[in-house]
Structure 1
Amino acid sequence: MLIRSLTLATLMAFTGPLLAADDNPLKQELGKTRPLVVVELDAGNPTLATLKKQLEEAAIKQSFEERSMVFYTVKFGSIGAEGEKFAKDPKDSKKLTPPETNALIRALKLGVGSGTKVILIGKDGEKKLEKTVPPD
């Protein structure tokens, strides 16, 4: 856990000045959608896989779409953070670039921890719910 925290801090320290341009993907969603962001800090935690599987169920998918929601994921691995956006329209789904992923992480102000964080953001851009699922 300490190594991950140090890796994240080092990554942010070196890339912060390079990423001065605001590439925050959440700004594009402001007033349009309700982003649900899942940040997987521990690769072994099944929360992200479970949520993805549940979103494939017809009833949940329909509710997700009715509420104008999009789904963002951030996974920390050995080479840093990787982000993805899943939207109702497949052409809007995409892998986030490293600057977009880092901007998303900065915007969420995650802090240090372990487990998986699930964050619901309202159309107004404010956090409405933040839960941490501890590692197994």
Structure 2
Amino acid sequence: MADPGQPRFSADPTNDAVRRKLLQKLSINSKSPALAEMARELLAGRITPREVMTSSSYASALEPGVAQFQEWYGGLSDEQRAEQEELGRAALDRLAGEPETPPARTRRQNPPEGYEDEDFSDRSWLT
């Protein structure tokens, strides 16, 4: 169950947990840093799903996947759509049973051996 201070993504606790887990998985997505950032922002409550969909901030990251989905889904028969819906429900049920993914942690990497860090102490950061 989500902390009381965290944003809720559904009034139904099971749906909320599944959506949160999907966002947690997306937040560690290395293939799309923009989508990972969006997921982290949603999880932190700094943006809402409505803001994501009504702003252009993440449009370039979302548009290719939405277009691909529309093309794929538009080509399915009614029977195939029903089959895909059932597969989707099963996947959500499996996800609901998984433990929560811990938040991604940023780790500082040590520089390679022999690397000399540039000294910025003599620079003015005001001009």
Structure with a larger share of its residues in strand: 1
TM-score higher than 0.5: no
How high is the TM-score relative to the length of structure 2? 0.27
> Relative CO higher for 1 or 2, CA cutoff 8 Å, sep ≥ 6?
1
How high is the TM-score relative to the length of structure 1? 0.26
